[in-house]
Structure 1
Amino acid sequence: MRNGSDYHEKLDDAETWIFDLDNTLYPATCNLFDQVDKKMGAFISAYLDVDLVEARVIQKRYFREHGTTLNGMMTHHGMDPAEFLAFVHDIDYSPVQRNEDLVHAIQRLPGRKVIFTNGTVAHAKSVLDRLGIHDEFEVFFDIVASDYVPKPNPAPYDKLLAAHDIDPKRAVMLEDIARNLEHPAALGMTTVWVRTDHDWSHDGTGEGDHIHHVTDDLAEWLSGYVRSRHG
């Protein structure tokens, strides 16, 4: 992990800020993923006609092996993703609350702002509406746009950059899962790890120097950055 002055200078040169969504733009303590997690288990149980215990084993194995449970279900069972995505994102978004510090920081952040998520555009917009920052983002690149290939596979990163003419050397990637920052760093992006207490958040932290900045609170970190830039 590095936080040297060269990486702070690269922040000032950034033209594009690429944000993961879940547990990054809102705190992991909102526990939206707990809702999604239960919905995935219920869907798998019904789809494969197995009990909930077996469904959870399958769900977690596919997440580890394929990057997302969705990708594993498509690969091994030929599942149509649309019904799955609609079902698992039919959740209560009320735990996500507007954060004025985050709103102010995002508004003052220079350059283009992009959402890059393994979820859907509809899910992202529901979250951003709750946060009060929906209108600040000009690009929504979701699991459908990535042809259902999830991060950390390099392919969706490369497709995002090509589709939206993003120079990786003048881009910042902010993400809660450390391993999802490996390819961005290799491409020349400046990376910000939004650390959480979840085990998967720390996956990949010990491999290489792909993490340039670390924070436990994105709103606080962004607020500090824009203050240092603008005074």
Structure 2
Amino acid sequence: MPPGLDHIRAWVFDLDNTLYPSSADLFAQIDTKMTDYIARLLGLDRVEARRIQKAYFLGHGTTLAGLMAEHHVDPHDFLAFVHDVEMDVLEENVPLAAAVAKLPGRKVVFTNGDGPYATRVLERLGLGESFEAVHDIHAMDLAPKPAPSAYAGLCAALSIDPTTALFADDMARNLAPAKAIGMTTVWVDNGSEQAHDSDRSFIDYTTPDLTAWLQGILEDA
């Protein structure tokens, strides 16, 4: 690895809008279903349901966390409903699979989604055999990124030393807790980030394209 990355022993990746481009817009389907779920649950029109959805996302880290806190929603019911989406917008990414395979060390997916959904996405991308583990929302005890407990739990469950780990995510705010425990951070700045904080001190690397970035560091190795 090039200087600055030669200490990395574990490569940790977010799933949605990180391992596939935000232009695929898969999350738009999930976003719509979350609005539908809230509208049905609370008897609201879609405009008000969407307002509440985004308020919960910003205030609790995920819409699900907000629904659980405010309405005692069954997480399994919610996740099964919102993740029942078509995957045809995703394409196999052979170059990314090749790059991940060449990375020295362990490779893990760290997602606020659930395991079955993550498995479907990875299979569609041709990454089904690329990672040793998927640390999902259930493994986080339903406390999602960016809750610090999610990162501590990841490292404890998989015996990862955060000072020798790299974490890539499309949401900049999810990188701050990773940096706080010593991880090297990569912001996949592909347009999916919803809010922009002026503080970017917790970001070590920025790229609009994860595949190209991985190929670049491998070429420099």
Bucket of the pairwise TM-score, normalised by the shorter protein: over 0.9
Q: Structure 2: where are the runs of 5+ without partners? A: none
Return the letter of the residue paired with 2:130: E
Shift of 1:8: 4.8
Q: Would you say the 8 A contact 1:10–1:190 is kept in 2?
A: no
User: 2: CA distance between counterparts of 1:38 and 1:219?
Assistant: 28
SS at 2:11's partner residue?
strand
Shift of 1:225: 1.1
SS at 1:54's partner residue?
helix
User: 2: CA distance between counterparts of 1:147 and 1:193?
Assistant: 25
Residue 3 of structure 1 aligns with which residue?
none
Q: Structure 1: where are the runs of 5+ without partners? A: 1-6
Shift of 1:9: 2.6
Residue 36 of structure 1 aligns with which residue?
30
User: 1: CA distance between counterparts of 2:145 and 2:209?
Assistant: 22
Residue 227 of structure 1 aligns with which residue?
219
Task: Describe the superposition over 1:189-211 as per-residue Cα deviations: whole angstroms up to 9, x where unpaired.
Answer: 111110022342x534x225110
User: 1: CA distance between counterparts of 2:193 and 2:11?
Assistant: 25
Task: Describe the superposition over 1:148-200 as per-residue Cα deviations: whole angstroms up to 9, x where unpaired.
Answer: 11111101100110111100110000010111111111111111110022342
Q: Would you say the 8 A contact 2:97–2:130 is kept in 1?
A: no
Give % identity.
47
Q: Would you say the 8 A contact 1:67–1:152 is kept in 2?
A: yes
Q: Would you say the 8 A contact 2:56–2:66 is kept in 1?
A: yes
> Is 1:215 aligned with 2:169?
no
Residue 60 of structure 2 aligns with which residue?
66
Task: Describe the superposition over 1:125-161 as per-residue Cα deviations: whole angstroms up to 9, x where unpaired.
Answer: 1111011111111111111111111111101100110
> Is 1:203 aligned with 2:196?
yes
> Is 1:121 aligned with 2:115?
yes
Residue 101 of structure 1 aligns with which residue?
95
Residue 160 of structure 1 aligns with which residue?
154
Residue 139 of structure 1 aligns with which residue?
133
Find runs of 4+ consecutive structure 1 residues off by over 4 angstroms: none
Aligned residues: 221
Q: Would you say the 8 A contact 2:171–2:192 is kept in 1?
A: no
Residue 166 of structure 2 aligns with which residue?
172
SS at 1:105's partner residue?
helix
SS at 2:87's partner residue?
coil
Task: Describe the superposition over 1:26-81 as per-residue Cα deviations: whole angstroms up to 9, x where unpaired.
Answer: 00000011000100011111111111111111101100100100000000001111
Higher helix share: 1
SS at 1:220's partner residue?
helix
SS at 2:3's partner residue?
helix
SS at 1:135's partner residue?
coil
Return the letter of the residue paired with 1:156: A
Shift of 1:10: 3.6
Root-mean-square deviation (CA), in Å? 1.3
